[in-house]
């Protein structure tokens, strides 16, 4: 029994030794005697995981044209025509980070929106003041050309080129750097002085105002101006003959500088009513809008007007002297109305108003130079 037990242990021990030898033959070894299979496979797995985020596409970088005040240098067309700008500071463009833009076109200012995709650029002017700039102004050309822009090219940080659609030409701009503030509506430039009342208007009141002061010092309060003699004692006749024209000159001066007090008796039948444009008659025929409800004007008691011209709206002021009427549209949106719109014609005719007549619910506005008569109906 003891020999049998010893033999069993010898057999078990031999089996263990054989298994160890077999394991040593099966498992490969590196030069250092340690297994290398696990470290060699783990390292590539970790590197692959870390490199994955670097394949995400980069987003578009904010354009370098934003925030700078660009001054228009001029325009060159492919047919050889060219426009050169003298007063660079009167024609500016500023792109804001929120997708809006500010424009100065000589004596007018405006705003709008823009869109950039790669190097493509579209500009839309939504609102623009409508002051009458002096002769030779490039305001209309500037605004119209901005609406034709299709692409932009930044040749360097200080020079910008805006290319037109169909490669018909390009506008050139330059800047001195970022604008510190958003440009405010400009003060009336010196070259806009011809638009103001004629130079001889202030001179006449000045002369007569001096004479009026002399009259106040020499005429007693109880005196009345019975008739203006052309000859006689200078102490009395001269002041009396100049006092009357002084009042007229003062009234004329007020009418050119500030909106006059129109007076309820003269404009009660005109103000606070919504006048719809029916048509305009002239020697050339009749012009009528397709939809009268989209063309209207409202006169307010404070001397302002509100205008709807198809898909656009605007404001301005008006002056009434007896039956004479003048209308000035100062601000107008510039949305692109459908084809066949009469919006521009409507605004232009209002600006040529000369006289008016109200009969019940009908309003007639006669245009300057007898160019025609606009007919309105009150709603």
Structural domains of the chain sorted by starting position, each given as residue range(s) with its CATH number in brackets: 69-183 (2.40.128.270), 264-378 (2.40.128.270)
Q: Report residue 99 CA to chain centroid gap.
A: 13
**DSSP labels for 50-116?**
HHGGGGSPPPPPPPTTBTBEEEEEEEEETTS-EEE-S-GGGEEEEE-TTSEEEEEETTEEEEEEEEE
Per-residue model confidence as pLDDT tens for the chain (379 residues): 555 566 777 777 777 778 777 777 766 554 444 444 444 444 444 444 444 333 333 233 356 899 999 999 999 999 989 999 989 999 999 999 999 999 999 999 999 999 998 889 999 999 999 888 999 999 999 999 999 999 999 888 889 999 999 889 999 999 875 543 334 444 434 343 333 334 443 444 444 444 444 444 443 444 444 454 444 444 344 444 434 444 343 343 343 334 444 434 468 889 989 999 999 999 889 999 988 889 999 999 999 999 999 999 989 999 999 999 999 998 888 888 888 899 989 999 999 999 999 998 999 999 998 899 999 999 7
CA atoms within 13 A on the CB side of 122: 4
Three-state secondary structure call for residue 322 = coil
Spatial distance between the Cα atoms of 201 and 319, rounded to a whole number of angstroms: 18
Q: List the end-to-end C-alpha distance of the chain, in Å, as a whole number.
A: 131
Pairing of strands 274-282, 82-84: unpaired
Spatial distance between the Cα atoms of 314 and 72, rounded to a whole number of angstroms: 27
Q: To 10 degrees, the CA torsion angle through 135, 140, 143, 146?
A: -110
């Amino acid at each position: 029994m003891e020999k049998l037990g010893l033999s069993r242990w010898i057999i078990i021990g031999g089996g263990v030794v054989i298994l160890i030898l077999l394991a040593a033959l099966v498992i490969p070894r590196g030069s250092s005697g340690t297994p290398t299979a696990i470290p060699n496979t783990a390292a590539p797995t970790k590197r692959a995981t870390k490199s994955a985020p670097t394949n995400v596409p980069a987003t578009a970088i904010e354009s370098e044209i934003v925030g700078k005040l660009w001054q228009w240098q001029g325009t060159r067309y492919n047919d050889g025509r060219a426009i050169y700008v003298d007063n660079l500071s009167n024609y500016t463009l500023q792109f804001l980070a929120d997708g809006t833009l500010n424009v100065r076109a000589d004596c007018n200012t405006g705003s709008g929106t823009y869109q950039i995709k790669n190097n493509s650029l579209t500009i839309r002017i939504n609102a623009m003041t409508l002051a009458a700039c002096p002769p030779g102004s490039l305001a209309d050309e500037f605004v119209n050309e901005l609406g034709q822009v299709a692409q932009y090219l930044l040749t360097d940080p200080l020079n910008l080129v805006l290319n037109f659609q169909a490669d018909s030409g390009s506008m050139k701009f330059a800047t001195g750097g970022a604008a510190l503030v958003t440009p405010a509506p400009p003060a009336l430039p010196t070259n806009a002085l011809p638009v103001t009342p004629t130079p001889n208007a202030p001179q006449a009141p000045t002369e007569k105002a001096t004479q009026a002061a002399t009259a106040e010092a020499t005429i007693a309060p109880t005196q009345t101006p019975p008739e203006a003699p052309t000859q006689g004692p200078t102490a009395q006749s001269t002041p009396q003959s100049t006092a009357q024209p002084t009042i007229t000159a003062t009234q004329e001066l007020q009418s050119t500088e500030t909106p006059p007090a129109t007076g309820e008796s003269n404009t009660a039948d005109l103000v606070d009513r919504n006048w719809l444009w029916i048509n305009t008659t002239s020697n050339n025929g009749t012009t009528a809008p397709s939809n009268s409800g989209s063309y209207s004007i409202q006169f307010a008691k404070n001397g302002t007007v509100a205008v709807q011209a198809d898909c656009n709206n605007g404001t301005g002021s008006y002056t009434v002297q007896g039956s004479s009427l003048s209308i000035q549209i100062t601000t107008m949106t510039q949305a692109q109305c459908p084809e066949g719109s009469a919006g521009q014609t409507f605004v232009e005719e209002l600006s040529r108003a000369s006289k008016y007549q109200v009969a019940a619910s009908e309003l007639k506005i006669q245009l300057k130079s007898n160019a025609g008569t606009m007919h309105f109906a009150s709603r």
